[in-house]
Chain A
Amino acid sequence: AQKVTQAQTEISVVEKEDVTLDCVYETRDTTYYLFWYKQPPSGELVFLIRRNSFDEQNEISGRYSWNFQKSTSSFNFTITASQVVDSAVYFCALIKTSGTYKYIFGTGTRLKVLA
């Protein structure tokens, strides 16, 4: 079975701190995709990244970086020098495309960045 665990329900940091949001997944498939999404307090969803299972290279986009480690089934998300605008709920998701299509979201981590 497929599963995505975001164990951190809520994290609070002070502005300019670095913060890592954890995402641990379970799947027996060798081909899958991992995603991160952001949902700010205004409620809209924002796509952040998609990573396929064959690409374990870390990704950096500005202050955001992602660490994909198949050995630990993790796809963690780090925000460097956090800002108040980073306050949001962040969702990790796993998509299994072989056989029966499955799209599993984690329960989300609420990040509060305090000024």
Chain B
Amino acid sequence: DSGVTQTPKHLITATGQRVTLRCSPRSGDLSVYWYQQSLDQGLQFLIQYYNGEERAKGNILERFSAQQFPDLHSELNLSSLELGDSALYFCASSPPLDSQETQYFGPGTRLLVL
């Protein structure tokens, strides 16, 4: 158990809908990362937040948005869902002052868009 929690574990929804994925980092970790893993695209980095501020942006679509709240949990919002958004979404957190920026991953949220 990495200490990072993600909810829900599974999500089934329809095209055009909007969903919110939630991530709670390990206690004390300030950074949160979001990744997408799909059969078509492989692993992709979406976005990173550090203590509430966006720190790095990857291949995140305009239909997707994220934020990190004052209590450091993060949410990834996916809207106007398409079949191709079906994927495993991972969240990770890393502690401050870690020279390696070791990332601790949550178990993932499996999203199925029908």
Contact = CB atoms under 8 A, between A and B. Distances in A.
Interface stretch (B13-21, B23-31, B76-84, B95-103): B95-103
Given A105-B43, A107-B42, A108-B42, A45 B92 contact: yes
B52 interface: no
Interface stretch (A12-20, A46-54, A77-85): A46-54
B113 interface: no
A47 B105 contact: yes
Interface residues of A, number: 17
Nearest to A46: B105
Given A101-B57, A105-B43, A108-B42, A49 B105 contact: no
Given A43-B108, A45-B92, A105 B102 contact: no
Contacts of A47: 92, 102-105
Interface in A85-102: 91, 93, 97, 101-102
Contacts, number: 41
Contacts of A103: 44-45, 56, 58
Nearest to A107: B42
Contacts of B58: 101-103
Interface string A14-48: 00000000000000000000000100000111110
Nearest to A45: B105
Contacts of A45: 35, 90, 92, 105, 108
22 contacts: A43-B88, A43-B107, A44-B2, A44-B105, A44-B107, A44-B108, A45-B35, A45-B92, A45-B105, A47-B92, A47-B104, A47-B105, A50-B100, A50-B102, A91-B43, A93-B43, A97-B56, A101-B58, A105-B42, A105-B43, A105-B45, A108-B42
